[in-house]
Amino acid sequence: MKIRTRFAPSPTGFMHVGNLRTALYEYLTAKHEDGTFVLRIEDTDQERYVEGATDVIYNTLKTAGLTHDEGPDIGGDFGPYVQSERLNMYKPYAEQLVKECKAYYCFCTKERLDELRASAKEGEVIGYDRHCRCLPQSEIDEKLAAGIPYVIRQMAPLEGESTYHDCVYGDITIKNEELDDQVLIKADGFPTYNFANVIDDHTMGITHVVRGSEYLSSTPKYNALYDAFGWEIPTYIHLPLIMGKSVDENGETVVSKLSKRHGSTGFFDLVNEGYLPEAIMNYIALLGWSPAGEFENREIFKMEELIKAFDINGISKSPSVFDYDKLEWVNAEYIKAMSSEEFLAHAKPYYDDIGVDAGCYELLEEILKPRITRFTQITEKLEFLKELEDYDIALFEHKKSKSTLETSKDALEAAIPLLAECDWTREAITEVLTGLAAAKEVKNALIMWPVRIAAAGVAVTPGGCAEVLILLGKDEAIRRLNIGLEKITKG
């Protein structure tokens, strides 16, 4: 049997990393077995409709590298793949259950149901009292003929127990008396969310249902429907929540469901912060799944490797905590592993923004690759190239290199004419500056420190003195060194 999984997001306009992990595990479950990954848009709840929300879903899957085999945009043999385009398909299934005495018409008014609910004691949840479950056929016919509005409810089993197996949580048993006579078709003729979900999964041939653990408790209701129809229940893989860590006002660490207060939780928010889609997917693959066998303890996985390594048995039921530092580390690993072409493609927009000369690309790659964990950091790291900010001459004083205003003045006075004559290569610049230190019989740092400060105007730069000079270009570097000397002279 070929595995068929589906990602069934509701179009809310936002893709939480938890939903994306569900999509990823669905994709991997299917692809590991050469199966089919289906995209279905669950938009039965039209009140929650958000403009452009389906595009967010398409863009997310595309950017994340989760290519679906069937879906609203590409079609397939089991369409339509948007619930609102399937609305007429559901009622006949409910009618079939009515005919087989597994469902019934319920004519109870909203007022009656409200009263019923209001009669509940505090803390008590009252389900439907099954008032219409046993109406005489003649009464039903009369009401239908009179056009009285109705919903269709399932006749849930009243006794016994139901057990189902979940691949992550094991066997789950409930007493059937806990099952409500759930509404399948609403008074407007449209299906309830749960009913549509089951009909869709069955008619789309879905074999494995992967979704959040918040659906564990509704699953018996879904199974009651599969049983009523005599359909095979799919394999269930419910995923634990993703948690976030924060510190409360008493300084205690609190772990709670991952939300905005822990950091970005949306896929595109993370992408905009500079996390690479491949790194995000790699990281969230490991949020709740541990590789085993030949892949044990491995942390960096390309998508093809995930497909190979993924195994449902490696999913843990204990909730995992989203660790932004770990994501940062994974991202840095992806950057380090990039070819020069890939690195440049990602870095170029930031270079262009600063106005970096193409001749510096190679040097910059060498300097930045080991130092950045996200490409967005380039802007800040190279900010000093844009223009020389007004800086405090106290920057020239540096304890460790024993640099003072006086030594800095001497160093700059001597270095400027030498550099003005020098070939603008790293080797030549280094040779000039170390040669100067040797001639003056001082440590290299006593020359390098003031030159780098005058060139950059900031204390921290990526790369050392020679690199900073090269990046600036000769004219700009000499101009800045003269400004530095003038600043110190004026005091």
Smallest CA-to-CA distance from 259 within 60, 57, 17 is with 17
Q: How far is the CB of 196 from ligand GLU (least distance, A)?
A: 10
311 CB-contact burial (10 Å; exposed 0-12 / middle 13-18 / buried 19+): middle
Task: Give the phi and the psi of residue 19 in degrees, each rounded to 5.
Answer: -65, -40
- 108-137 residues near ligand GLU, rule: CB under 6 A: none
Among the listed residues 211, 262, 381, 398, the single contact to ligand GLU using CB under 6 A: 211
Q: Which is nearer to ligand GLU, 19 or 403 (CB)?
A: 19
Among the listed residues 4, 5, 8, 429, the single contact to ligand GLU using CB under 6 A: 8
Q: Among the candidate windows 2-10, 72-80, 408-416, 420-428, which touches ligand GLU by CB under 6 A?
A: 2-10
- 215-234 residues near ligand GLU, rule: CB under 6 A: 215
Q: How far is the CB of 166 from ligand GLU (least distance, A)?
A: 13
Q: Which is nearer to ligand GLU, 9 or 462 (CB)?
A: 9
Report whether the peptide linkage leading into residue 417 is cis, meaning its omega lies within 30 degrees of zero: no
- 34-73 residues near ligand GLU, rule: CB under 6 A: 42
Q: How far is the CB of 214 from ligand GLU (least distance, A)?
A: 8
Rounded CA separation 215/197 (Å): 12
Q: Which residues, 6+ apart, have CB-to-CB distance to 191 below 8 Å? A: 44, 87, 90, 91, 94, 184, 185, 199
Rounded CA separation 356/116 (Å): 72
Task: Say if strands 253-257 and 242-247 run parallel, antiparallel, or are unpaired.
Answer: antiparallel
Q: Which is nearer to ligand GLU, 202 or 245 (CB)?
A: 202
Q: Which residues, 6+ apart, have CB-to-CB distance to 239 below 8 Å? A: 18, 21, 22, 25, 168, 210, 211, 212, 213, 288, 315
Is 400 tagged catalytic?
no
Q: Which is nearer to ligand GLU, 57 or 347 (CB)?
A: 57
Q: How far is the CB of 218 from ligand GLU (least distance, A)?
A: 9
Q: Does 430 bind ligand GLU (CB under 6 A)?
A: no
Q: Which is nearer to ligand GLU, 42 or 181 (CB)?
A: 42
Q: Does 10 bind ligand GLU (CB under 6 A)?
A: yes
Q: Which is nearer to ligand GLU, 200 or 467 (CB)?
A: 200
Q: Does 274 bind ligand GLU (CB under 6 A)?
A: no
Task: Say if strands 4-7 and 170-175 run parallel, antiparallel, or are unpaired.
Answer: unpaired
| Residues contacting ligand GLU: total by CB under 6 A | 7
Residues paired with 16 in a beta bridge:
266
Rounded CA separation 93/126 (Å): 27
Options 175, 257, 260, 402, the catalytic residue: 260
Residue 180 near residue 205, CB atoms below 8 Å: no
Rounded CA separation 445/158 (Å): 85
Q: Among the candidate windows 7-15, 378-386, 440-448, 452-460, which touches ligand GLU by CB under 6 A?
A: 7-15
Q: How far is the CB of 195 from ligand GLU (least distance, A)?
A: 12
Question: Mask: binding to ligand GLU, 189-208, rule CB under 6 A, as x and -?
Answer: --------x-----------
Residues paired with 153 in a beta bridge:
104, 183
Among the listed residues 9, 220, 457, 462, the single contact to ligand GLU using CB under 6 A: 9
SS3 320: strand
Rounded CA separation 426/467 (Å): 7
Q: Which is nearer to ligand GLU, 9 or 71 (CB)?
A: 9
| Side chain identity at residue 15, one-letter code | M
Residues that bind ligand GLU (CB under 6 A): 8-10, 42, 197, 211, 215
**Catalytic sites, residue numbers:** 260
